Structure 1
Amino acid sequence: MKIVHVIASLDPARGGVPAVAMRLAAAQGGLGQAVHIVAHDEVDAGPRIQQALEDVPGLKRVRLHYLPLPAGLDRLFARATRRPLAEIVAGADAVHIHGVWEPILRQAAIVSRTSGIPYCVAPAGMLDTWSLAQKRWKKRLALALGYRRMLDGAAFIHVLNRDEADIMMPLRLKASDRIIPNGVFLDEIAPVRRAGQAPLDTLLRGRRYILFLSRLHYKKGLDVLADAFARIASQWPDVDLVVAGPEGGAGEAFRRTVEAAGLGSRVHMVGGLYGPDKIAALRGADCFCLPSRQEGFSVAITEALACGVPVVVSRQCHFPEVATEGAGIVVDLDAAAVAEALSAVLGDPLGARRMGRKGSALVEQRFTWPVIAEESLKAYATMPRSAER
């Protein structure tokens, strides 16, 4: 089977979508499929992208295609990408579009429809209520100018869980949905043998820490986390907070908040962590916390669970298995509730270890990329092949 994944960017600083697309493609390649990835060529992000590519097990089986970034007015439509996309997509059995609001993705849908090749769209949380409320008028205009056609013409909408499907219902999309979650490669989260120290070893010098690992964006709830940590800091003087992730517009406000609370020396903003450094940071944490305002299916939460770390997450992360499987605590998006949950984990080491074991077992059973790749191939097999949908 020839499968083509289309994504605007492979830069890990753009959020979790690149990581998901690359790993799903690599897992499908590991099952013997002919897999391609198409993305824009971003020269400035080259080193980050190269490191991300090297971090993904089995990605060498996947053929990568880079298309130039559109210039001038073509940034709105990316018409120049249509011909190269058609050449790459030719003969494909399935096209998998990752994201929504990018012209290259819309062009991929147009090429697929006109070629009679079925495609699916993975919105990655971009169509939930919170996301649609951001720049609302622009998104409404985009839907009217072609993005609704992209969504309605899909063989199915790839949702990450039932919550995501339910939240999209007000859009009344014509395409049906198919649940295919995210996952991890167990090889990636195996204990790492190092010649030297991990970055946090030198920084923390053995102190306990809570870990936030995500893009520093308002929707990730950094303001809630700052308030929650301030509430418990005096109760747990031996615990620091590590905030790891690329800047997304909320970093400076967070920094000012913790400085104003007198916690600057106990809050460490370490930038993006990738590969072995990220896994070492997860394995060393006493607790992982993501009080997000919106998530589709967080890779970071899944990786934390796989590493045996108890997690505290908001209900808006849409990961109910954390609570049902006893792998952590799911709370309302409220600083007091987050603080109470963090204290519960920090104050019960035996219970935290039990949570960690349950989390790693959950991931091994249900959320590994080879298992998810099999699910995706079954979903592709149901897609009708027809001209101009």
Structure 2
Amino acid sequence: MKIVHVIASIDPKFGGPQAVAQRIAAAQSALGHDVHVVSYGSADAQRKLFEMGRGIPNFSDIKWHILPEPNLFEKLACPGGRKLLRTVAQSASFLHLHGVWDPILLYAANTAKAFQVPYCLCTSGMLDSWSMQQKSWKKQIAFLLGYRKMLNQAKFLHALNVDEVLLMQPLGLRAPAVIIPNGIFPKEFDALPDKGRFRRQIGLPEGRRYVLFLSRLHIKKGLDILARAFQLVSYSHPDVDLVVAGPPDGAEEEFAQLVKEFGLESRVHVVGPIYGETKISALVDAACFCLPSRQEGFSIAITEALACATPVVITDACHFPEVGASEAGFIVSTDPAAVALGLIAMLDNPVMGKSMGVNGRRLVMENFTWPAIAELTIQNYRFAT
């Protein structure tokens, strides 16, 4: 099959959807398919993309069609994007769109329809109730301007979990939803780095443990919740620090203000975005991973933490019930006190944490791997056509 993935940006700073698109594409390439990606990206974003791609199996087999970072006119009207789509999609077997609210995706759906090429759309949690409440008036206008039609005419909506399917139901969309989760490449996690590498890199003394947050610094990721939770943890656990890793995305200023207000500057380490071996080393060294999100589709960061045998404390809004069912971590509410209690319980019992880490690694390796997920996408493409 010739498969074309379309995403508005390949810049890694935008998080999950970018990581998902490139990994599904690589895993499909490994199955012998002709896989293309159409996107926008600056020279710096492309450099980061291909640097990170060196560690992804079969990444080099993907055929990339990347336009320069768009100006406002290109972002809205997509003249360059539409021309490229007409060229790449003309002989395609299937289009896989990633995201919802970007004009390039609307034009990709129209192109697919013009060439009678079926398409699906990965909603990435963007249509659940919490997401729809953010800038809701803009989204209602977008629905009137063709985005509802784009969703309805998809062969299927690629949902990441059962909760996402349920939370989309109030929208009354006609396209069926198919659950295809995210995952990891086992090869990336076969040989984990020795403990201590990341700790030394950030200058953390040997006797100190840390909780790791790894994600975009966005309001939905719950950084403010984490700051308030860590204040409570700090009283009872003077040997524990907090490491915050990820690209800035609007929530960093409030977080910094809270850290200062709570007098935690010496115990909170904001290290910026980390990728590749550095990211894996940070996960391996962490006493636990924490993602107190208000909304998630299927977090790559949680999945990678589990693959590193690192126990997790996550919120129910992360929609990852398998963590609780497999005893790989704690699932709590978005209340800071609940997050703090989960962290304290984890930190108070390192033996339990180690056991949870083993359970989490088994969970991911047995159920959430990109080769198996790629097979599932191909089956659904063929069933839809």
Letter in 2 for 1:122: C
Match of 1:186 in 2: 186
Structure 1 residue 131 displacement after superposition: 1.1
- Range with bigger deviation, 42-51 or 260-269: 42-51
Match of 2:290, SS?
strand
Distance 1:244 1:75 in 2: 29
Would you say the 8 A contact 1:199–1:277 is kept in 2? no
- Verify the 8 A CA contact 2:10 2:46 in the aligned structure 1: no
Greater Cα offset, 42-51 or 2-11: 42-51
1:144 aligns to 2:144 (yes or no): yes
Q: Letter of the aligned partner of 1:336 in structure 2?
A: A
Structure 2 unaligned residues grouped into runs of 5+: none
> Is residue 104 of structure 1 aligned with residue 113 of structure 2?
no
Q: Which residue of structure 2 aligns with residue 330 of structure 1?
A: 331
Pair 1:204–1:86, CA change in 2 (3 A): same
Partner of 1:289: 290
Look up the match of 1:255: 256
Secondary structure in structure 2 of the residue aligned to 1:95: strand
**Corresponding residue for 2:269?**
268
Q: CA offsets per residue over residues 205-263 of structure 1, 9 Å max, x none?
A: 22210000000001000011000100010211111000000001111210111111111
Q: 1:71/1:251 Cα in 2 relative to 1: closer, same or farther (>3 Å)?
A: closer
Unaligned runs of 5+ in 1: 385-389
Alignment of 1:51-130 (within 5 A): 51-130=51-130
Compute the TM-score of the two structures, normalised by the length of structure 2.
0.96
Query: Alignment RMSD, CA only?
Result: 1.5
Q: Distance between the aligned counterparts of 2:200 and 2:168, measured in 1?
A: 40
After superposition, the Cα gap between the structure-2 partners of 1:90 and 1:288, relative to the gap in structure 1 and judged at 3 Å, is same
Closer/same/farther in 2, CA of residues 70 and 235 from structure 1, 3 Å limit? closer
Q: Deviations over 1:97-133 (max 9, x none)?
A: 0001111111110000111110000010111111111
Matched ranges for 1:310-325 at <5 A: 310-325=311-326
Does the aligned pair in 1 maintain the 2:290–2:313 contact within 8 Å?
yes
Once the two structures are superposed, residues 153-211 of structure 1 have per-residue CA deviations (whole angstroms, 9 ceiling, x without a partner) of 100000001100100001111100100000001122234558x9446544212221000
Q: SS of the residue aligned with 2:186? A: coil
Q: Give, in whole Å, the separation in 2 of the partners of 1:4 and 1:64.
A: 10
TM-score, structure 1 normalization: 0.95
For residue 372 of structure 1, give the secondary structure of its aligned residue in structure 2.
Answer: helix
Q: Which residue of 1 aligns with 2:10?
A: 10
Aligned to 1:387: none
Quick one: structure 1 residues 24 and 249, their matched pair in 2 at CA, closer, same or farther if it must change by over 3 Å? Answer: same
CA distance in 2, matches of 1:42, 1:331: 39
- 1:134-163 CA-partner distances (Å, limit 9, x unpaired): 111111111110111110110000000110
CA distance in 2, matches of 1:68, 1:149: 28
Q: Does 1:309 align with 2:331?
A: no
**Per-residue CA shift, 1:272-313, capped at 9, x if unaligned?**
010000000001111000010000000000000111011000
Give the whole-Å Cα distance in 2 for the aligned partners of 1:303 and 1:72.
Answer: 35
Does residue 363 in structure 1 map to residue 384 in structure 2? Answer: no
Is the contact between residue 128 and residue 167 of structure 2 (CA under 8 Å) also seen in structure 1? Answer: yes
Q: Distance in 2 between matches of 1:375 and 1:315?
A: 26
Query: What's 1:215 paired with?
Result: 216
1:375-386 alignment runs, 5 A limit? 375-384=376-385
Given the superposition, is the C-alpha separation of residues 153 and 200 from structure 1 closer, same or farther in structure 2, using an over 3 Å criterion? farther
2:198·2:285 contact (CA, 8 Å) conserved in 1?
A: no
2:346 corresponds in structure 1 to: 345
1:100–1:126 contact (8 Å) kept in structure 2: yes
Question: Which residue pairs with 1:162 in the alignment?
Answer: 162
- What amino acid maps onto 2:120 in structure 1? C
CA distance, structure 2, for counterparts of residue 4 and residue 75 of structure 1: 20
- 1:19 corresponds in structure 2 to 19
Please tell me whether residue 42 in structure 1 is matched to residue 30 in structure 2: no
The 1-side partners of 2:92 and 2:50 are apart by 26
Deviations 1:57-93 (CA, angstroms, capped at 9, x unpaired): 2110111011244445343231442222011012211
Q: Any idea what SS the aligned residue of 2:236 has?
A: coil
Letter of the 2:135 counterpart: K
State the AA in 1 paired with 2:42.
Answer: E
Question: For residue 36 of structure 1, what is the amino acid of its counterpart?
Answer: H
The aligned length equals 383
Residues 79 and 107, structure 1, Cα contact 8 Å, conserved in 2 = no
Distance in 1 of aligned mates of 2:16 and 2:105 = 17
Amino acid of the structure 2 residue aligned with 1:163? D
Measured in 2, the distance between the counterparts of 1:71 and 1:238 equals 48
How many Å apart are 1:51 and its aligned residue? 2.4
